[in-house]
Structure 1
């Protein structure tokens, strides 16, 4: 295991920022090592927000590189855009984004490793290139980073809420007002650990929505995320009494038949990490979604 020693002299500020300027590793990588307790100051484990002091002795233990064991798979993949820094993927409904317990194969990451040779390493061997996620049964657009510099830029845009992510959702009930904002903190449900919920001490979560079309007992809405909490749209829509149709986790038992929730990530916009150009992409809704809307229009 490699070891780096740094003595703090005149530097000031957070340890993750200071170290990223002193050693040849990215700030995100240093934050990961801090989280994994691979960084000590004067022999003590510290967090990323630790403010360095003159004379601090910092020790970084760099773990041995882990051999990539996730297998590349020749799975069909819709690549909407690709250059040397980023790729935009249109994920089909039913595909898990990255390997986890019970899903070692058949994921978007397995497909990415086959179709795209260069992927950022910031999120480790399980999630190469993955900057953000959408749920298994949510379809639509995802941005993928092909190197660490691009990853840091895209992740910062998500953090600063400057990227654009718009969704289409078909929800239960007829929403009377044309626009709305849901500002309600989200955290793990106390009743069911597999679910998220609006809870008092949860992480801040803000969702904006606008009505696109009304049907009998259902409403088609466009949503824009300010934050990216797990299951955010599904939890927020349930919270205001309009759960996403077809949602097996947060919706009612009697709902529309499909391949899971009727939720589609239709628009993705971001500033290119290298050129500084704003880029925006759109994805057509899946066939089952379109057919369901047609049926609702006919019934209406």
Structure 2
């Protein structure tokens, strides 16, 4: 079996991770840092396991929930999130072989760097588990805001001065879930409610207090679930919400980053204007494994 870290060892691991605004080499490292930190702080309401290939000089880490119950971390029924960080492919191979993960149940691999796909596929073949079909692999770029200063919160040209910017409220969970590409299910709404209730968010409200544009913060540190109501698009509201979120992340010591799926050119254009950047090493994929199997 892989080495499962105790809480003191997990704290030691968190302290060993350095996030540098000037050189974000790995989004997986930021995801590990934020997930472990939030778990230690009691913001993740379930038992998790953090497994390493060896300790203390680890080269690969896998983290997932410990029990078999579907949790608020998942937005799809019966699916368990699995994440990986590695600095050495041999360490990754060893960890995948030794991990306690049940490879036969529905799993969602979270933003796995494309550099590790061949190792993962190799392992699945050894386990006799079918590789996921193309429609269960969502390719994305990782977009980083590699600055130590916040963008100006000045109004964008064309925005209404009567609009206000503030966090979302839990009662907005249904609206956010309904407008999310992967939402509009009871599991997704529960997931969104947990995010809004526990972590930062940013929303532009109209004069009546109705949400018109928003972006959330995931438990693993990325921004996501961004959306603008169609009648309010083209007015700069999403830029305002994103600036608010960048400000919040930097104040908390996090490097602002998010994932943009390949089809979403509109999101790419907005984040270029905000000063985000991306590199080939940030290419990644969300991968559903055994998606149609019951747990």
Q: TM-score band, normalised by the shorter chain?
A: under 0.3
Q: More relative contact order in 1 or in 2 (CA 8 Å, sep 6+)? A: 2
> Rg bigger for which structure?
1
More helix by share: 2
Q: Which has the higher strand share?
A: 1
TM-score (norm 2): 0.25
TM (norm. structure 1) is: 0.25
